[in-house]
Amino acid sequence: MTVLLTRRSMVGRALAIGSTSLLTACNFDDLQHPDLADRVLRVMSRWNDRVQEALFDPTRLAPTYPASAITRPPRFNAYYDISDVRVVDGNAWRLDLFGAISEKRAWRLEDLRTLPQESQITRLICVEGWRVVGQWRGVPLGDFLRRIGADTRARYVAFRCADGYHSSIDMASALHPQTILALDFLDAPLTPAFGFPLRLRIPTKLGFKNPKSLTALGVTNEYPGGYWEDQGYNWFSGS
C-alpha cells in the first residue's frame, strides 16, 4: 500500500514538472512561434491537471509534524512586499458566497468561530523553493460546504481575497479532511500578513493554492483559474 502511494506521488511530481522540462529540452524559447509554444504548454498543463486529479487519493493525508518542528519566525509571501499588506477590518468583514450554494447568506467572523474547528501542524511549500512548518486551526472546508448547501458534485471551489488575489481548487481536494478555512495561526487569530481574518489552508497543495484574507468563496463548474494559475503555474499543483 505504502509503495503504491509513494509511486503515485512520484508520478504526480514527475507530471507536475513535465511541462517545465519539456520547455528546456525543446528550447521553446528559441522557436519562431512563441505564441504557439505557449498554447501547447497551456494545453499540456491542463492535461497534467486532469492526470493529477485522477491520481489524487482523497483519503491520503499530508504529513503532520510535532510542535518542535514549527518554523519560527514564519515566512511571509505574497505578490507584493510585507510592508504593503493592508489590514482588513474584522468587524465589517464578511465572507460572501456565490455559485452553486443553496444558503448564500454572507458569514461574519464570530459566526465562523462558533463552528467546530480542527488544528493541524503541517508544511507549506512555496514554488520559490522554500518550505515552513506551521500550526493552523479552522473550520474543515468540507463541513462548511455541506453546511451552506454547496453542490459538492460541482468541479471547482473558487476563492477571492482582499488584496485582489484569487485561486481555485478541485472539489475532491476541497473535501479532503485536512483542507480548512483557517482562523488561527499558532493558537492566535491570523495576523494581517498571514491572512487575517480567514485563509484557505490546504497542505496537499503548494503554497500559492493557500489564498489569504478571503472575501468570497464560490462553487462552480466553470474553470476559475487564479492569480498565478493564469500566468502559467500548473493549476492542480499537488504537493
Ligand X SMILES: Nc1nc2c(c(=O)[nH]1)N[C@H]1C(S)=C(S)[C@@H](COP(=O)(O)O)O[C@H]1N2
What is the pattern of x (binds Mo ion, CB under 5 A) and - over residues 96-135? Answer: ------------------------------x---------
208 binds Mo ion (CB under 5 A): yes
- Would you say 207 or 218 has its CB closer to Mo ion? 207
126 binds ligand X (CB under 6 A): yes
Candidate list 161, 182, 198, 219; residue touching ligand X; CB under 6 A: 161
Contact 153, 220 (CB under 8 A): no
- Would you say 66 or 129 has its CB closer to Mo ion? 129
Candidate list 79, 87, 146, 232; residue touching ligand X; CB under 6 A: 79
230 binds ligand X (CB under 6 A): no
Residue 145 phi, psi dihedral angles, 5° rounding: -60, -40
- Would you say 37 or 195 has its CB closer to ligand X? 195
131 binds ligand X (CB under 6 A): no
The residue nearest ligand X at its CB is 207
Residues found near Mo ion in the complex (CB under 5 A)? 77, 126, 207-208
